[in-house]
A = this chain, B = another copy of it.
Amino acid sequence: MTPEESKNLLRELLLKGSSEELNHELEHIHPADILEILHEDDDANFETILKRLPESFVADLIDEEDEEEKYEILKVLSDYQQSEVLKEMSSDELTDLVGSLEDEELDDVLNKMSDEDREDVKQLLAYDPDTAGGIMATEFIAIWENKTVKKTLEYLQSIKEEMESSYYLFVTDRNFILKGVISLRELVSTPFDTLISEITNPHVISIDVNMDQEEVAHKFEKYGFVTMPVVDETNKMLGIVTVDDIVQIIQDENTEDIHQLGGVSGEERVDGTLAESIRSRLPWLMVNLLTAILAASVVGAFEGTISQVVALATIMPIVTGMGGNAGTQSLTIIVRGIALGELTGDNARRILFKELGVGLITGVVIGLLMCIIGLIFQGKMIFGLVCGVAMFLNMVAATMAGYFVPLLLKKMHVDPALASAVFVTTVTDVLGFFFFLGLATMFLPYLL
């Protein structure tokens, strides 16, 4: 059966299968696959299918769906169904849902929640959405250390419904102060009569509720866990963060960095609207226009020289362009190094000298080539020297700008990915024109 055929079969089932068949099959179908079908179908089918699905499954669908589309699913259901769906969702899923809503929709959805859920969500909404508190779920399994493995398994069997996203059990005291952790792996492979305290790992690595989500992602990468506990300053356990959220955060942060380095907003999407693209790009083009005018004004100041040696106009874009390339190379390495946490206080000095070395060496190589190009092009040794020396100076300036601009932006608490490229190419354009045309003006009598 081809993927297309099995998709059609599934669509048939969703639209026309008996509710018994439907419930039976859905137990084993991943919501992401149903979502794919819903996205491809028309509005009528969309509504029919959603109304036929069990509430717990709709809850999973909403969890899988992109932030802006979550409410589209919920709102086709009856008020009663909506309440039932909301009951099935965990606190972080609910928070994600309401986080994207406008005031009126927000009130409506909050009213349909149980009192307990509403309180949880209001608490979670109080955290900055880009921190551990903003991404955590408050549902987790806390156990006590004076029980045996068998007792604990029986306890877990009794709360099956709540087991949803845990691969670890957290050992706490009655006030939920975090004492230790046990993986399910450990639990299932330990004899029944062992005491929990014997297999508890007391060195839990936890996350402060106010930690930035990028730092949380670094912790997951470093330790390779699938779940980490979130605690407040008293070590009271507040919730858990799971690795599937982290994968999404890593991708989003990377998209943001790549977009910003390319001069578009972090939020623009390839399948977004024309208006969104214009809003994302036009402001940066305006900023670039200003910096381009600044650079052009340097050229303007040397028009007298150019009018006497027109060959300068031909060569000058090479000098600024190559500087721009070298600067972009350095800033790319530095910006990525900062994002990955690989550029630290300890190695910053060594990396500065390395970048300087790159500037000097590539400057000599490209400078020599420019010298030859200039000589061939205009026939005068001194013209070649002006080309080569200007190129050398601009390459060194470029790597230094590529090093210092992102680090200075970071010191000023500006995202280095956001503005580094504009600053660095402004430096290489302005200095490139200045070095080249300035040197040419100094040696003008010999160039004629």
Enumerate chain A interface residues (CB-CB to B < 8 A): 27-30, 32, 64, 153, 156-157, 159-160, 163-164, 166-167, 184-185, 187-192, 201-203, 205, 220-226, 243-244, 246-248, 250-251, 254-255, 257-259, 261-264, 268-274, 277-278, 281-282, 284-285, 288-289, 292-293, 295-297, 299-300, 303, 306-307, 310-318, 320-322, 325-326, 328-329, 331-337, 340, 342-343, 347, 350-351, 354-355, 357-358, 361-362, 365-366, 369, 373, 377, 425, 429, 433
Contact = CB atoms under 8 A, between A and B. Distances in A.
Contacts of A332: 258-259, 261-264
Contacts of A160: 189-190
Contact of A247 (B28, B187, B246): B246
A427 to B, nearest CB: 14
A347 B39 CA distance: 13
Contacts of A157: 188-191
A388 to B, nearest CB: 13
B282 A365 contact: yes
A262 to B, nearest CB: 3
Contacts of A251: 221, 250, 254, 340
Given A246-B247, A285-B362, A185 B203 contact: no
B317 A311 contact: no
Contacts of A224: 32, 64, 244, 247
A282 to B, nearest CB: 6
B357 A274 contact: yes
Given A274-B358, A278-B361, A289-B369, A226 B167 contact: yes
A328 B273 CA distance: 19
Contact of A317 (B220, B303, B317, B334): B317
Interface of A is mostly: helix
For the complex of A and B, the 4 pairs showing the least CB-CB separation, nearest first, are A262-B332, A270-B337, A224-B244, A28-B203
Contacts of A222: 32
Contacts of A27: 201
A334 B282 contact: no
Contacts of A340: 251, 255, 270
B153 A366 contact: no
Given A269-B337, A271-B342, A292-B317, 8 more contacts: A27-B201, A163-B189, A187-B188, A226-B226, A251-B254, A292-B322, A295-B321, A303-B310
Contacts of A188: 153, 156-157, 163, 184, 187-188
A233 to B, nearest CB: 15
A97 to B, nearest CB: 17
Given A156-B189, A259-B336, A274-B357, A321 B303 contact: no
